[in-house]
Structure 1
């Protein structure tokens, strides 16, 4: 039980590190907030508020909406959290803003598959929103970005004139609400398994989880804040307002119905939408964008595979563990072969 709490709170801190960029990266990247620590403190305060006052429905979805609640024993909760934590920790080390909802749902799905009790319709319903909302966010901010470009071409000094203080305030305010939406949704990812295992009540879990997510944002959020704030594209104040407003509106609306949307993907898709309005499709040629897309696709499967493997180890199912190991080795072999093929083509091209 102690280990389950330790894993959950470590996971919560990593959620804070990842969610910091998703919520306050725009305010920091646009120059509305000059210092990183200020952006991270604002993020932390908003996350606690969103968790305590709005996180209940998402907790119920994760703790009992995908698999039967009775499956969440203390051991199962710990293993699901461990699988999600390892996936998120790898992404944070790489500085990639990863959706904690995806890896948590992936881990819970891995548990459900191991016990043959996964609610597939509910899972597909959530995945549908995962696929649709980043596209919606990209489209909205792309259109808004084009409109902003037209307005700024007519009024080039608009953001530096008398309206600048108002624009700065609005960027910070929308960033605050984006962090609030992260609290409503992301904290549940860390503490829902504990609630499912009846180790904590929902209200207590949301308070403790919110505090640890906030602590993680302050202590571990710098690298991811830099990635979302400055490494994808440069945003102005008006563009920052549109990004944060779009992301927070989508995520808060979904959280009110208990749907855990991937806030990191939505925010980053919004930033890429603005970047596409500025630079055209060149933004997709940047290494950081392609790297994020690959991590987003792979991460849920990694957490699902880890959770499934851990459960099978708990069940002492040697055949299933052997098949998982064989699958991992086969995947690594295919990756190695693809790399060798690319190197041979590159060498052949040079020799010619």
Structure 2
């Protein structure tokens, strides 16, 4: 019976890791693949490699927290481990059905909390720290995005350009016996720097994803009396990531623009840097947190900050009730340059295989804050309240449901 449960636990862990690899590869390498900088197979290979690096180094701290610190490792019996992984897998299903980046990490912790409450072994002091980090991390990501969007982003967009190549950035000369790689001859020095930045940051995102998500797949199976050692758990998680990266991620890479269709490549890179850094820092301290939540918070802050450039701080602080509403979303990032200067291509352009507009010979200077457009903004014009409500609700609901649903299950099982 125990051996069957162990096998079931490994199978469920592979299922969870498979889905994580499929979704995270698209998030990390969507811009790089859409810009024809790397091929899908190369993207999957890089994701697995850097995901392994993140899981093997920083990710060990998160595995240790989730496998033995929230509740004692002895509580993870084979049947309890299967149950925790089951609730983690269900969170992925809920996230996909509702199209909201619900946190797998938060839901996995919620299921472990249900186990701890049922067995009266929950480390409440540690949970206070973890929940505090869940509150602070999105606020930090949002604030950084807001500051960058309002004060820095327009200048970056003024001078930084990203090219979408008709042919891949790296070409192969097959005229000889051994294929020889060479850079696309249409690439300018600025294109080369920009392209290397896109790929480098994608690899950094893969590192962050590995660091934060390996524990979600294998933590219940690791630890004292567990089915796997930490090293085995990391290898199993990364192997499952690879299955998803080389299979279902191919479709995710093709359709990555469907959900954030007007997010420019430059903005996606800023989001990746901020979200990835926040999660890497938390992972270093062993705190399980959501990469999806941090990146989404950064997107909202970046769009909010960009939109708010149309008004001075004093105007935003005292909005007039009779001002017309403006529909401001991440699309505000697309129009960050003045009217005569088209913005850089968006992820949506890449997903639809549309050609990006040609750069003008001369790009006008960036307007001062308050001079970019009409300062007719109010609180509702700075973000989509319905979308924000849906996202925040799911962030709170999924881990809460995991606790509520798992508690009676573990009460019966223990």
- Shared topology, TM-score over 0.5? yes
Query: Could you tell me how far apart the structure 1 residues matched to 2:41 and 2:393 are?
Result: 29
CA contact (8 A) 1:98 1:264 kept: yes
Cα 1:15–1:203 shift into 2, 3 Å: same
| Structure 2 match to 1:182 | 209
Unaligned 5+ runs, structure 1: 316-352
Aligned length, in residue pairs: 313
Are 1:58 and 2:86 matched, yes or no? no
Aligned pair partner of 1:214 in 229, 242, 249: 242
For 1:195, the equivalent position in structure 2 comes to: 222
Q: When the two structures are superposed, what TM-score results if normalisation uses the length of structure 2?
A: 0.68
| Aligned twin of 2:343 | none
Which of the pair has the greater relative contact order for Cα pairs under 8 Å at 6+ separation? 1
How do residues 1-352 of structure 1 correspond to structure 2 at under 5 angstroms?
1-25=6-30, 27=32, 31=35, 33=37, 39-151=43-155, 155=159, 158-159=161-162, 162-196=189-223, 197-221=225-249, 229-232=257-260, 234-279=262-307, 282-283=328-329, 284-285=383-384, 289-315=388-414
CA distance in 2, matches of 1:28, 1:260: 29
Report the Cα distance in structure 1 between the residues aligned to 2:111 and 2:18, rounded to whole angstroms.
18
Would the alpha carbon gap of residues 48 and 119 (structure 1) be closer, same or farther in structure 2, given more than 3 Å must change? Answer: same
Q: Secondary structure at 1:232's aligned position in 2?
A: coil
CA RMSD after TM alignment: 2.8
Q: Is contact 2:51-2:208 (8 Å) kept? A: yes
Unaligned 5+ residue runs, structure 2? 1-5, 164-187, 309-326, 330-382
When normalised by structure 1's length, the TM-score is 0.78
Distance in 2 (CA, whole Å) between partners of 1:118 and 1:311 is 13
CA deviation map 1:86-122 (0-9, x unaligned): 1222213444333221011011001111112111111
Q: Structure 1 stretch 302-311 or stretch 118-127: which is displaced more?
A: 302-311
Distance apart, 1:50 and its partner CA: 1.7
Query: Which segment is superposed worse, 87-96 or 239-248?
Result: 87-96
Instruction: For residues 288-325 of structure 1, give each alpha carbon's deviation from its aligned partner in whole angstroms, at most 9, with x where no partner exists.
Output: 5544333222111122223223213325xxxxxxxxxx
- Give the number of the structure whose residues are more often helix, by fraction: 1
Mean CA deviation greater in 284-293 or 137-146? 284-293
Distance 2:150 2:43 in 1: 27
